[in-house]
């Protein structure tokens, strides 16, 4: 005979809010549009602290790694990349690298 320590319905009730909380943390809404939260955090960290406050080639690679985390780049991820390119300062080399690498990313619409 199989016994559960808690009723199955109670176990599911506990796990559902945890999954919903994890999903909520993936996006950040900026200008009314969902953006990739991790990419924005990496971009903010790149311009704060040491350095001249611009995104370099190395920083651009770190941002792109969070944007291109799957096989394809989604509309939310492209939107996030465009926002970062619009709102953050880049070195000339960093800007060229960011645009070149992003243009090679396979989209999924």
What ranges do the domains of the chain cover? 27-103
Among 66, 55, 64, which residue's Cα sits nearest to residue 104?
Answer: 64
The reported pTM is: 0.74
Distance CA 62, CA 23 (A): 22
Among 65, 70, 21, 23, which residue's Cα sits nearest to residue 41?
Answer: 65
- Structure confidence at residue 9 as a pLDDT band (50, 70, 90): very low
- Please list, in sequence order, all residues whose beta carbon lies within 8 angstroms of the beta carbon of residue 38, skipping any fewer than 6 positions away: 26, 66
Could you report the per-residue pLDDT of 24-67, keeping only the tens digit for each?
A: 578 999 999 999 999 999 999 999 977 889 999 999 999 999 99
Token representation of residue 93: 């080399």
Token representation of residue 56: 């370099």
């Amino acid at each position: 005979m199989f016994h559960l320590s808690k009723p199955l319905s109670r176990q599911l009730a506990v796990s559902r809010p945890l999954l919903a909380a994890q999903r909520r943390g993936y996006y950040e809404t900026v200008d009314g549009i969902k953006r990739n939260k991790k990419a924005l955090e990496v971009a903010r960290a790149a311009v704060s602290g040491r350095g001249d406050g611009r995104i370099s080639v190395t920083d651009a690679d770190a941002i792109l790694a969070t944007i291109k985390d799957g096989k394809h780049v989604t509309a939310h991820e492209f939107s996030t990349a465009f926002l970062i390119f619009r709102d953050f300062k880049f070195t000339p080399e960093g800007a060229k690298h960011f645009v070149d690498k992003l243009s090679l990313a396979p989209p999924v619409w």
